[in-house]
Amino acid sequence: VQLQASGGGLVQPGGSLRLSCVASGFNLAYYSTGWFRQAPGKEREAISCISSNDAISYYRDSVKGRFTISRDKAKNTVYLQMNSLKPDDTAVYSCATLPLSLVDSGCSDQDNLYSFWGQGTQVTVSS
């Protein structure tokens, strides 16, 4: 049972990246899935979340209009499309799932509620 985030890298300001959160060993479609990031010296912050029925999505104010979360059930994957990237977006990005006990709650921006985490992927936005 594993969550794996990938797709990070070095990109210039204004550029784009698409992060993938791939689940193995379980059906990710049953779970509300969130993306988080943590920059050096800063606390982890919630970026976006998609509910298990894809009906609810959450975006941090600073990424609204630039980032889009989506799900591909056939690939057991949740994506985070990041456009118009800024240096302030530089961080390690991780994905995580809410427990099934909270599935009726939809999404959450509280990282302490997420019970299963994948390893992160580094995103660096720099010229």
Average pLDDT over residues 67-75: 96
Q: Which pair of tokens denotes residue 119? A: 């390893």
Q: What would the pLDDT profile of 75-127 be if each residue is shown by its tens digit?
A: 999 999 999 999 999 999 999 999 988 878 789 999 999 999 999 999 999 99
Task: Using alpha carbons only, give the angle 123, 61, 16 rounded to the nearest 5 degrees.
Answer: 35
pLDDT band for 32, please (50, 70, 90 cuts): very high
pLDDT tens digit sequence for 1-21: 899 999 999 999 999 999 999
Given a cut of 90, whether residue 67 has pLDDT beyond it is yes
Long-range Cβ pairs for the range 6-9 (8 Å, 24+): 6/121, 7/121, 8/92, 8/93, 8/120, 8/121, 8/122, 8/123, 8/124, 9/122, 9/123, 9/124
CA dist 94 and 45 (Å) reads: 10
